[in-house]
């Protein structure tokens, strides 16, 4: 065809674009379009083919945009410029060229758009999960350190024949104090020390009111442990919280003695603080026991020496403050008035009871200097146990 030979490829686009893929897969029907262009404006068909391959072969969005502007840019795009020239053409060429350029403009825009979606889809699939990354260890929870100690204690007492009795946290004044033989004017009953919910109702200040509830419900003999949270209107500092956890124990029967108490407490101490621990009972007053005592264990840090060796020199043990002993619980024989208050006959049954704080055990065992950490729920702290 003579006409085509007299219009060699204009070469307005880089020759390298010819190596781009056939855009047929992006926008079908290329052969028909080329045929149509060759029919109406053969030289434009060559430009179209090169431009279409250039768009289809753009390696990434930036290259595509660059090529798109070069071809279709509103100001400097080759197609735009060519359209601007149409008016200068001889009248009979004007119509055909104008039509060809408009077709080219539309078809190339379609290819450009199709390539853009294709590149975006590829980028999306690349930003999906990288299957070559090592797996993430799933987060595994565990019981709170206090819950761990509580179950350890419940397990220990279970082995000694004790069942668990769970009692309410909001408690009648009468059960928290009155039936436990607190005098009406006992300072613990003051609102400075105890949270009152309403007159006659308090947040329990210890787990001991559970004894009263259990004894009112059941007949002796009974062996029970009472775990739970307790509340006191404390000034909060490193060793005081206004809520903490206790476990009380209660053993009531026909001839429960102080010797039984001592044996039970020693078993507890050895299980929790180790076989080598020494214990001592010191008389102390609690309204609900008579006699009452506190149990101390030999200091777990200095082994009862009251001093520790550090860099070759002796220094006072800071945990027991040099005494060699740590106070770990309160205990005693259940006061006859408490037995009477629940309808038991102190001539027929006797009992012992003890009560301990879980935070204290956890702090000693794990060397935790700050009681507030237990309730802050910071997994960096809790995850250590």
Residues in contact with ligand PHE by CB under 6 A are 206, 208, 248, 286, 289, 292, 330-332, 353-355
Tokens of 311: 């860099």
**Shortest CB 152 distance to ligand PHE, Å:** 19
The side-by-side arrangement of strands in the sheet containing 163-164 is: 163-164, 222-231, 243-253, 350-357, 325-334, 289-298, 279-283
Residue 256 beta carbon to ligand PHE: minimum distance, rounded to whole angstroms: 14
Here the tokens at position 298 are: 């030999």
Please name which of 201, 199, 150 lies closest in space to residue 171, comparing C-alpha atoms: 201
Cβ proximity to ligand PHE: between 40 and 188 the closer is: 188
The radius of gyration of the chain from alpha carbons, rounded to an integer in Å, stands at: 44
Contacts of 21 (CB under 8 A, 6+ apart): 53, 56, 57
Q: Which is nearer to ligand PHE, 48 or 286 (CB)?
A: 286
> Looking at beta carbons only, is 302 or 333 nearer to ligand PHE?
333
Q: Would you say 45 or 212 has its CB closer to ligand PHE?
A: 212
Distance CA 36, CA 288 (A): 107
Q: Closest CB to ligand PHE among 23 and 332?
A: 332
- Preceding peptide of 221 cis, ω within 30°: yes
Residue 149 CB contacts under 8 Å (≥ 6 apart), including other chains = 358, 361, 362, 365
- β-pairing, 243-253 with 201-203? unpaired
The nearest distance, CB 281 to ligand PHE, in angstroms, is 12
- Taking the complex as a whole, the smallest distance from the CB of residue 161 to ligand PHE amounts, in Å, to 18
Q: Which is nearer to ligand PHE, 13 or 226 (CB)?
A: 226
Q: CB nearer to ligand PHE: give 97 or 294.
A: 294
Size of the chain, expressed as the number of residues it contains: 385
In whole angstroms, the minimum distance from the beta carbon of 165 to ligand PHE comes to 14
Helix pair angle (91-126, 42-56), 10° resolution = 10
Contact 385, 148 (CB under 8 A): yes
Q: Minimum CB separation from ligand PHE for residue 167, in Å?
A: 13
Cα–Cα distance measured from residue 245 to residue 146, given in angstroms and rounded to the nearest whole number: 8
Q: In angstroms, rounded to a whole number, what is the distance separating the alpha carbons of residues 113 and 101?
A: 18
Other CB atoms within a 10 A radius of the CB of residue 350 amount to 21
Q: Measured from the CB of residue 131, what is the shortest distance to ligand PHE in angstroms? A: 58
Assess contact for 356 and 265: CB atoms under 8 A: no
Separation CA 41–CA 350 (nearest Å): 116
Nearer to ligand PHE, 17 or 211 (CB): 211
Least separation in angstroms between CB 288 and ligand PHE: 6
The answer to whether the CB of 196 falls within 8 A of the CB of 176 is no
**Cβ proximity to ligand PHE, 252 vs 331, nearer residue:** 331
Q: Measured from the CB of residue 358, what is the shortest distance to ligand PHE in angstroms?
A: 12
């Amino acid at each position: 065809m003579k006409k085509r030979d007299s219009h060699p490829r204009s070469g307005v686009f880089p020759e390298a674009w010819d190596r781009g893929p056939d855009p047929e897969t992006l926008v079908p029907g290329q052969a028909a379009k080329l045929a149509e262009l060759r029919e109406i404006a053969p030289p434009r068909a060559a430009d179209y083919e090169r431009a279409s391959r250039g768009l289809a072969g753009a390696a990434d969005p930036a290259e595509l945009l660059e090529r798109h502007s070069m071809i279709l840019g509103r100001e400097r795009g080759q197609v735009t410029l060519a359209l601007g020239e149409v008016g200068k053409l001889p009248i009979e060429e004007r119509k055909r060229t104008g039509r060809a350029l408009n077709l080219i403009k539309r078809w190339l825009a379609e290819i450009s758009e199709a390539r853009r979606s294709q590149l975006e889809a590829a980028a999306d699939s690349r930003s999906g999960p990288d299957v070559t990354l090592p797996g993430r260890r799933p987060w595994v929870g565990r019981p709170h350190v206090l819950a761990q100690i509580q179950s350890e204690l419940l397990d220990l007492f279970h082995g000694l024949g004790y069942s668990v009795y769970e009692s309410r946290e909001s408690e009648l004044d009468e059960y928290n104090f009155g039936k436990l033989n607190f005098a009406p004017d006992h300072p613990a009953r003051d609102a400075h020390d105890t949270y009152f919910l309403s007159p006659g109702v308090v947040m329990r200040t210890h787990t001991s009111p559970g004894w009263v509830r259990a004894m009112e419900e059941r007949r002796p003999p009974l062996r029970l442990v009472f775990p739970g949270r307790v509340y006191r209107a404390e000034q909060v500092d490193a060793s005081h919280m206004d809520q903490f956890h206790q476990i009380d124990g209660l053993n009531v029967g026909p001839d429960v003695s102080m010797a039984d108490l001592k044996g039970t407490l020693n078993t507890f101490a050895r299980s929790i603080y180790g076989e080598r621990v020494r214990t001592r009972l010191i008389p102390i007053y609690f309204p609900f026991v008579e006699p009452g005592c506190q149990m101390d264990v030999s200091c777990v840090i200095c082994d009862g020496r009251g001093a520790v060796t550090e860099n070759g020199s002796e220094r006072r043990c800071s945990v027991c403050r040099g005494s060699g002993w740590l106070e770990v619980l309160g205990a005693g024989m259940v006061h006859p008035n408490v037995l009477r208050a629940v309808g038991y006959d102190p001539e027929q049954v006797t009992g012992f009871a003890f009560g301990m704080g879980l935070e204290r055990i956890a702090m000693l065992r794990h060397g935790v200097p700050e009681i507030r950490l237990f309730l802050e729920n910071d997994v960096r702290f809790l995850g250590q146990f």
